[in-house]
Structure 1
Amino acid sequence: MRILLASLLAAAALPALAQTAPPPPPQPSAAEQAYDTTLVARLRDAALSDSMAWEITEGLTTEVGQRLAGTEAEARARAWSVKRLTAMGFANVRVEEFAMPVWERGREAAELLGPYPQKLVVAALGNSASTPAGGVTAEVISFPDVAALAAAPAEQVRGKIVYIGHAMPRTEDGSGYGVFGAPRRQGPTLASQKGALAIVIRSIGTDREHRNPHTGVMNFAEGATPIPAGALSNPDADQIERILARGQRPTLRLTLESRVTQGRSGNVIAEVTGRDPNAAPVLVSCHLDSWDLGTGAFDDAAGCGIVAAAAKRIMEAGTPARPIRIVWFGAEEVGLFGGLDYRARHGKEPHHALMESDFGADRVWKVDSRLGAERAIEARRLQRVLQPLGIVPGSLTETDGPDIGPMLADGLPGASLQQDGTRYFDIHHTPDDTLAMVDRKQLQQNVAAWTASLAVLAGPVEQRPAAPRRRRR
């Protein structure tokens, strides 16, 4: 009865709704529909057997390895990238360098001295202050989250080592990272302001099985004295919490040595020439640097492989209407330095769309875009060509990306191919971020999605005529 009543009420409301409903979205012309279902589909489906993205990911992680921002390793990565992108046939391959502070980790150790002596696994957070050579020793005081630390009186914290729990759950879209990342982002400043000697946090990650700490950058607020700050592996955080649950007060000796120097990073840029060289380009991007615990395959060599492979496939098919600009950002992990430098140099220039691949290499499941009402046909065409890959339509008013985020906030248009993040934070910023974590079939689905997206956003590809077949004599 309730269902029938609801149906009758809905039917009665139809005339009123008809008067206020928004106009239907503009429909593509027959020519546009034909374009979508022929060349774009062919390029998309061919990319499902792509090998270029894997070759780039394998090459970068094998021949360079970890690429901490501002270090000699990242400089080798830029040289490797220029050579590879040039060999792939891209135009105007170059590096735009910038200066930056460089934080580097040294010796790390954590050991419970009591009540149950044992060694723990810890990694310094980026921008952690250095302990003395012999480390620091103090009682551990525990808080379940940042809010509890913020509410604690300073005399309760002073002279102790703060521990913050706050375990992060797995989600497909990675949305827990914002909330559950607070201990890393805000915890060190709060602990310092309350007089703590140091801070260790539960790793901001979703794995519970591996004894791998998750590193990541944090910054001290102005006026806060930098203190040593580290992340315990999740199994070791569990160990601390079990001891605390017994009513015991652990004593921890913590060694986190580090140094800060000055160095240089840079953005590696390459282009696919468009038929109209003055047209606003489609920017496709990733970040070249990585943390130093793994080899940065998932975060973000795979992203660089994906965007370069997709652009290469468009270039091989012919000439797009507008240029495609490939940007492998430098120094993303330690503060979005590459994205901010690009914005300072090029942020006032028109861009047709900004896109970034920086969420691993698992399958794309949703497409979001913010192209503006006047480009509604283009946005819906993008949704339509991706559906055969199992990609659902998302928002037409929101998009994101770390390095491109400041420019998106400035109002530039963009699109996001949202990847499945269910296992991303198991691997993120750990020693497990290696090539072994990249699934080839899911990587190929990413390339197919990016290829189809570029075929739409960069405009119709003017195919090169096939070479005449030579007659046999």
Structure 2
Amino acid sequence: MQRPTLTLLAAALMLATGLACATDTPTTIPAAAVHTAEQLRDKAMHDDTAYQVVASLTTEIGPRIAGGVNDPRARAWAIAKFKALGFDKVYTEPVTYPLWVRRSEHGAIVAPFPQSLSLTALGYSPGTPKGGLTAQVVQFPSLEALKAADPSSVKGKIVYIGYRMHRTKDGHDYGIGAGIREEGPLVAYAKGAAGFLLRSAGTDPNSRTPHAGVTDFTDFKHPDKAVPAAALSNPDADQLERVLAYGKPVTVKLDLDCGLAGTYTGYNVIGDITGRKYPDQVVVIGGHLDSWDPGTGAIDDGAGVAIALGAAKLIHDLPQRPDRTVRVIAFANEEMGLWGGRAYADRHAAEVGKFQLGTESDLGAAPVWRMSASVKPQARGAIEQIAKVLEPIGVAYDPKRPGGGGSDLSQMHLKGMAALSLAQDATYYFDWHHTANDTLDKIDPQQLAQNVAVYAVFTYMAAQADGNFGSAPNAFAGDGADD
């Protein structure tokens, strides 16, 4: 008889069926955890830890351009702050990147109506030749128009694109403005231009504060394959356009002392509140520690670091530690190309299955108004439980949108980490973003506290969930997440 063979086959089928059922088991959040999350939410709305953190960072350290003089000071500040707030494990991981330095910048219309221009050099821009660069300006209405232009109309000239951003709650115009800033200089170089100017990627119509930001000049082995590039403040862009409208040749002089200066090793600063039951499984939140240099980096992204630390501190102070580890990361050098996020994702890609859920705050400190998620189908119910706790403080759940994880943690999401997107109201964020006006006074303490409440709720509920949210290698490839 072949009974043993049939028995083994039946057993194998039963095992496979059981594994499938286990895989399909819905992820849920226990009622006790929901109740605690509601208490965390209410407490967070009256907690000022995050505001004290961002006030400390912007006052004691100030601007934090990656690799600049304040970079090591900011790192030491972060390590000390993590320890003071009770993280039981605080450590750093190296991040090496090209060092770009800004020393001075000047611009002026030379003819037909001489006058100065308020501008700032863009990240990875080379400097101008000694004595500056003087050339005629050629204007294009869009990046697409520049791409379609005959190179002979561009060669030897300074290209200018004047796209104007408008205020919107979701900040969607920034995708266009940042695209021009990043790609425009590359296109201008390829067509033989001498330089590149754009209207700042910002929404402040009346302030002569240009907006910094990075370009796509990332061929670091050939830094000469680039042209000097700068952003004009909105009023100065208006003035240049009025001059151009006269129909006469317009000449501009750029004098930018900036450029690459070797490489630099910075560090991601990481703090863990170690989980009680599953210490190797982590819920990860954070912000980036670096900022652009004109302001003090309050909304971009001191607020993000502070929100994550404030949320983690509230969880730390509960009578019992969470089941899973809560990890906060203060990322290095996000502004010049997600260097900290990419380094972290590369280093931890093999562990992506241990990442329960994550997202980063990097859109200021105005209230969170929308949540979306990229999770396995069996975890949608748990996301709805989180959404229900957040609804009373103004957060709407959009089940049709994916979650991207925020700026730096988008890189872990690309590796397969389940992720949220927690959209803040960006109506005024791009008035101050990357400018000298990015200072502490732009943060409303009560609005910041609402952010902390959101992060504390989702972090705690994810840490206490029965089941996971679907993190696995390449689990969310092609989900269309866009932060």
TM-score by length of 1: 0.89
Q: Is the Cα contact below 8 Å between 2:159 and 2:193 reproduced in 1? A: yes
Residue correspondence of structure 1 range 381-400 to structure 2 within 5 A: 381-395=385-399, 398-400=402-404
CA distance in 1: counterparts of 2:248 and 2:427, whole angstroms:
35
CA distance in 2: counterparts of 1:72 and 1:376, whole angstroms:
46
Of residues 194, 199, 219 in structure 1, which corresponds to 2:196? 199
SS in 2 for 1:280: strand
Q: Is the Cα contact below 8 Å between 2:279 and 2:323 reproduced in 1? A: no
Residue 357 (structure 2) pairs with residue 356 (structure 1): no
Residue correspondence of structure 1 range 72-471 to structure 2 within 5 A: 72-220=69-217, 225-261=225-261, 262-317=263-318, 318-349=320-351, 350-395=354-399, 398-400=402-404, 401-459=406-464
Q: Could you say if the C-alpha distance between residues 269 and 27 of structure 1 is closer, same or farther in structure 2, counting changes exceeding 3 Å?
A: closer
Partner letter of residue 438 of structure 1?
Answer: I
CA distance in 2: counterparts of 1:167 and 1:315, whole angstroms:
45
Partner letter of residue 293 of structure 2?
Answer: D
Partner letter of residue 420 of structure 1?
Answer: D
Q: Per-residue deviation at 1:196?
A: 1.0
CA distance in 1: counterparts of 2:159 and 2:400, whole angstroms:
43
Q: 162-171 or 174-183, which moves further after superposition?
A: 174-183
CA distance in 2: counterparts of 1:259 and 1:154, whole angstroms:
26
Q: Is the Cα contact below 8 Å between 1:275 and 1:321 reproduced in 2? A: yes
Q: Could you say if the C-alpha distance between residues 305 and 372 of structure 1 is closer, same or farther in structure 2, counting changes exceeding 3 Å?
A: same
Aligned length: 435
Q: Residue 32 of structure 1 corresponds to which residue in structure 2?
A: 30
Please list every run of 5 or more consecutive structure 1 residues that lacks an aligned counterpart in the other structure: 1-25, 462-473
Q: Residue 478 of structure 2 corresponds to which residue in structure 1?
A: none
CA distance in 1: counterparts of 2:26 and 2:32, whole angstroms:
13
Partner letter of residue 127 of structure 1?
Answer: Y
Q: Is the Cα contact below 8 Å between 1:379 and 1:396 reproduced in 2? A: no
Q: Per-residue deviation at 1:419?
A: 0.4
CA distance in 2: counterparts of 1:182 and 1:366, whole angstroms:
24
Q: Is the Cα contact below 8 Å between 2:278 and 2:325 reproduced in 1? A: yes
Q: Is the Cα contact below 8 Å between 1:111 and 1:119 reproduced in 2? A: yes
Please list every run of 5 or more consecutive structure 2 residues that lacks an aligned counterpart in the other structure: 1-24, 467-483
SS in 1 for 2:281: coil
Partner letter of residue 275 of structure 2?
Answer: G
The one-character-per-residue Cα deviations of 1:135-183 (angstroms, maximum 9, x if unpaired) are 1111111111111111111111111111111111211111221123222
TM-score by length of 2: 0.87
Of residues 43, 46, 62 in structure 1, which corresponds to 2:43? 46
CA distance in 1: counterparts of 2:141 and 2:285, whole angstroms:
40
Q: Is the Cα contact below 8 Å between 1:71 and 1:263 reproduced in 2? A: no
Q: Could you say if the C-alpha distance between residues 208 and 453 of structure 1 is closer, same or farther in structure 2, counting changes exceeding 3 Å?
A: same
CA distance in 1: counterparts of 2:365 and 2:462, whole angstroms:
22
SS in 2 for 1:319: coil
CA distance in 2: counterparts of 1:64 and 1:178, whole angstroms:
30
Runs of 4+ aligned residues of structure 1 deviating over 3 Å after TM superposition are 26-29, 31-35, 221-224
